[in-house]
Amino acid sequence: MIVLYHPQPNERHRRLAALLQSAWNISVAFGPEDDAVCWNDSGWLDQQSSAEPPSSDHAAWIFWRTWVWEETLPKDQHARPIGRDAQRDLLLPEAEVKAREWAASMEISLPDMARPAPVLVVDIDHLFAYNGRGLKSAVGGFLSDLIRGEFGELRTRVFGPDPFYSLVFWTELARRFPQLELQFFALLAAERGPFDRGVVPKSSVVREALRTLLVRFDVGAHLSYGSHDRAQGYRQELAELESILDRPVVRQRSHFLRNAGTEQLLCSLESLGVVEDWSLEFADVPGFRSGWASAVPCAGVQQLPVAAMDQNFLGMSPREIADSLHALQAAAWSVGAPLRVGTHWRIFGPRPEVERSGKDFRAWREGMNLWLIEWSKA
């Protein structure tokens, strides 16, 4: 155990101690003990502000970069920090690098650097294009295709395969890259809204599809945008998924990254039995939002950083995408952490182009595949 000297540690010291304990793999505390280790304490943690503390105060700077810095960024319409306005290198997990440097200066022995396999984080915003979306949606879509003379779509609605259902792709990807970790998050959207177009939880087709997915892969909750606005919204959607999977749901990732990293969300999740939140990510750019590539403990929940999302790479060539992912992976490996990369279930289905957003993810699919091939051969 290591005790860092402070005469009267407060909640910020205790929060930081939990983070350092996770990073250093030893017990960490702040206190006035006679054998406590002195550090260059600027007093910033005693009277916290949004101003950047001196870098020589390792404790304050790590706390600031992890939890305070993003609050200084402008927000988008969904109250998410805008990463492209950041005046710093987001492609480096700099808070974690700082923590490791501080440990080395105190001769704390850290585990050898690992080069763990990457993790693909798959958001199932749309499990199906046509199936499992309710009677009203099915009838409306059928009539719309009939009026437009889209007879091929009518046949697909009746006989399949559903354009978004991509289990075949993911099963084959897992076979090709057995070391690759896949983590799925399913959006049920118990109530639909302008940002939620999920499937109906009670649909037998939906329930069977998710149970089939669980046979091979882990499935967490992708809490809907609207769940944040409803009393018991989180509880309802977690309960729906648990009833389908017949097991506790311990991982979640917020749709649209709404309220990501907020103590209010994390405390609510912890009270509902959620252990991991995978929402620590910028919506608009690649990078390490908290300055960490490893898990960040907060409010009783482990926050798992996701460093990039498919939409961050629109407009780039497959080669540029693969190179960007290699660079992010090297940054994560520099602190012995895995790279987590997000993507969407629907864009790997038989015909993702039926999605009305009109975004072209062909280069992303090719670039992701190129990166995985090169990683597996390295």
Residue 345 has a pLDDT of 98
Residue 123 has a pLDDT of 98
Residue 362 has a pLDDT of 96
Give the rounded percent of residues in the chain with a pLDDT score beyond 90: 84
* CATH placement of domain 119-129+164-377: 3.20.20.370
pLDDT > 90? residue 62: yes
Residue 135 has a pLDDT of 55
Q: CA 190 to CA 224: how far, in whole Å? A: 8
Q: CA 132 to CA 243: how far, in whole Å? A: 16
Mode of pairing for the β-strands spanning 181-186 and 218-221: parallel
Q: How confident is the model at residue 370 (pLDDT cuts 50, 70, 90)?
A: very high
Residue 256 has a pLDDT of 93
Say which residue the tokens 């944040």 belong to.
228
The residues that bridge with 344 in the sheet, in sequence order, are 123
Q: How confident is the model at residue 194 (pLDDT cuts 50, 70, 90)?
A: confident
Residues 6+ apart with CB under 8 A from 54: 40, 42, 44, 60, 61
Give per-residue pLDDT as tens, 3-24: 999 999 999 999 999 999 999 9
Q: Which of 279, 224, 357, 297 is nearest to 81 (CA)?
A: 279
Measured from the Cβ of residue 60, the count of other Cβ atoms closer than 10 Å reads 25
Domain boundaries defined on the chain: 2-105, 119-129+164-377
Q: Are 186 and 127 in contact (CB under 8 A)?
A: yes
Say if residue 161 is preceded by a cis peptide, omega within 30 of 0.
yes
pTM above 0.75, yes or no: yes
Question: Within 13 Å of residue 305, how many CA atoms lie on the same side as its CB?
Answer: 28
pLDDT > 70? residue 86: yes
Q: Which of 29, 210, 63 is nearest to 128 (CA)?
A: 210
How does 321-359 read in b/e, with b if 16+ C-beta sit within 10 Å? bbbbbbebbebbbebbbbbbbbbbbbbbbbebeebeeee
Residue 145 has a pLDDT of 59
Measured from the Cβ of residue 255, the count of other Cβ atoms closer than 10 Å reads 24
Mean pLDDT on 129-151: 65
Q: How far is CA 176 from the centre of its chain?
A: 24
Q: How confident is the model at residue 136 (pLDDT cuts 50, 70, 90)?
A: low
Q: Which of 267, 274, 226 is nearest to 253 (CA)?
A: 274
Q: Which of 85, 86, 188, 169 is nearest to 127 (CA)?
A: 188
Q: Which of 17, 104, 109, 110 is nearest to 59 (CA)?
A: 17
Residue 190 has a pLDDT of 53
How does 99-119 read in b/e, with b if 16+ C-beta sit within 10 Å? bbebbeeeebeeeeeeeeebb
Q: Which of 356, 374, 372 is nearest to 364 (CA)?
A: 372
For 4, 16, 59, 131, 154, the CA distances from 13, given in Å and listed in that order, are: 10, 5, 8, 51, 61
Q: How confident is the model at residue 112 (pLDDT cuts 50, 70, 90)?
A: confident
Q: Are 306 and 222 in contact (CB under 8 A)?
A: no
More confident residue, 180 or 111: 180
If phi > 0 it is left, if psi is from -120 to 50 it is alpha, else beta; for residue 107 that is: left
Q: Which of 101, 70, 51 is nearest to 298 (CA)?
A: 70
Q: How far is CA 254 from the centre of its chain?
A: 8
Give per-residue pLDDT as tens, 269-325: 999 999 999 999 999 999 999 999 999 999 999 999 999 999 999 999 999 999 999
Q: How confident is the model at residue 131 (pLDDT cuts 50, 70, 90)?
A: confident
